[in-house]
Amino acid sequence: MPDLDVLRGLARDEPGVQDEPVLAVEAAAQGGTLGALQRYFGEDDGRRGVTLVVDGERVGHVSRADAIGPLAEATRGSYGSSSGMSLPGHAQYRLLRLRCPIPGCPTPEILVMNYDEDDPPRCPTHRSVDLERA
């Protein structure tokens, strides 16, 4: 199942969740997103959730517990789970953390898989200001 389908299934509409990072995903380039999100949560126990935005549209809140759940299920294994053949190693995708350079900006941290320094995303609050890597 593609990562984006899994993430959409995990996303919940929780209006009370504010000031959390935004995971901005482009549907055309979403491979590895779930693994990168799991690593993002694994790097800091204080990270509780993200707001999932796909192609500029808010999908919902993805909690740490829900995002790590598929990893736990996948590593649990069952009879025959080792029968598959795959290449050695694994992808090391990382989410890039972006922020608005204007002090006091209310826009939360933005998490992306792809970043083009020649065409960076803009701050949703200050539309003429490019986001910077945090």
| pLDDT tens digits along 69-102 | 755 444 444 445 455 555 566 667 788 999 999 9
Q: What is the pLDDT of residue 105?
A: 95
Residue 25 is inside which H or E element, if any?
strand 22-25
Q: What is the pLDDT of residue 70?
A: 59
Could you list the mean pLDDT of each consecutive 10-residue stretch along the chain, which spans 134 residues?
A: 79 74 83 83 88 89 83 48 55 85 94 88 94 92
How many angstroms separate the Cα of 79 from the Cα of each of 10, 51, 72, 75, 86? Answer: 26, 36, 16, 13, 17
Q: What is the pLDDT of residue 132?
A: 94
Q: What is the pLDDT of residue 75?
A: 46
pTM score of the predicted model? 0.67
How many angstroms separate the Cα of 46 from the Cα of each of 20, 42, 105? Answer: 11, 9, 22
3-class secondary structure for 51-103?
EEEECCEEEEEEEHHHHHHHHHHHHHCCCCCCCCCCCCCCCCCCCEEEECCCC
Indicate if the alpha-carbon torsion angle 99, 100, 103, 105 is positive or negative.
negative
